Amino acid sequence: MSRSLIRTHPFLALAACGVLCAGTAALGPAPVTAEAAEVIDCVQSSGGLDLTVVTEKDREAACATGVKVGDAYRAKGFAEGPVSVNVDGAEWSCRLIRGGPDDFPDCTNGMEQVHLSS
């Protein structure tokens, strides 16, 4: 992952840890095969916010899930969290991450991560 990409998307550093760091309490259990996960910038958005997903799924499935997760968290008012949302039978833990001038919503189910930004 390039440093310039991490500078422009600070979430990616967190996402990389969420995908690669084993068993961190804040992000849930480590994924089964971290090597296969990738960061996907989705064309779709959730409520006008940019959507990025870290997953092993293909782009279409990842982005569709990401929109649903973002919409479910938005329906709960982007509460500071952790807030639990259920999407397609999977439990997601969502919270606001303090990111300097802008806070950004972030959700994980232990295997995938959804990030929303403006």
Look at residues 29, 68, 26, 28 and name the one whose alpha carbon lies nearest to residue 47: 68
pLDDT the model gives residue 22: 35
Starting at the edge strand found earlier in the chain, the sheet holding 113-117 runs 38-46, 49-55, 113-117, 102-108, 90-99, 83-87
Whole-prediction pTM: 0.69
Look at residues 54, 3, 59, 64 and name the one whose alpha carbon lies nearest to residue 27: 54
What's the pLDDT tens digit per position in 79-112? 887 999 999 999 999 999 887 777 889 999 989 9
What's the pLDDT tens digit per position in 6-65? 444 444 444 444 444 333 344 444 444 556 789 999 976 778 889 999 999 999 999 999
